[in-house]
Amino acid sequence: MAQNIVSNTGPIISLEHLPAGFKFIRKLYEKIILPEAVVEELVADLSISPPII
């Protein structure tokens, strides 16, 4: 399997809109690292707190 990758918010949002987008990226990368600021941005509109990383 390929190496790890660090992602910002844009690609994660784009993958969310593709059918099987997350399954596809998991075939390319073993681990997807999201910085805390990215997680906070992704959950900003949700009524839940971001997970503790």
Tens digits of pLDDT across the chain (53 residues): 568 999 999 888 888 888 998 888 888 898 999 999 999 888 886 665 556 65
Q: How confident is the model at residue 51, as a pLDDT?
A: 62
Is the residue at 11 inside a domain? yes
Question: Residue 22 has what pLDDT?
Answer: 87
Opening angle at CA 31, ends 12 and 2, nearest 5: 105
Calpha distance 23→47 (Å, rounded): 26
pLDDT at residue 45, as a whole number:
67
Assess if residue 51 is contained within a domain: no
The answer to whether residue 47 sits within a structural domain is: no
Query: Whole domain around residue 30: which residue ranges?
Result: 5-42
> Would 52 be classed as within a structural domain?
no
Q: 23 in a domain, yes or no? A: yes
Closest CA to 28 of 13, 43, 15: 15
User: Is residue 19 situated within a structural domain?
Assistant: yes
In contact, 30 and 2? CB cutoff 8 Å: yes
Global pTM value: 0.65
- The total number of structural domains in the chain stands at 1
The string of DSSP letters for 10-37 reads: HHHHHHHHSTTHHHHHHHH-S-EE--HH
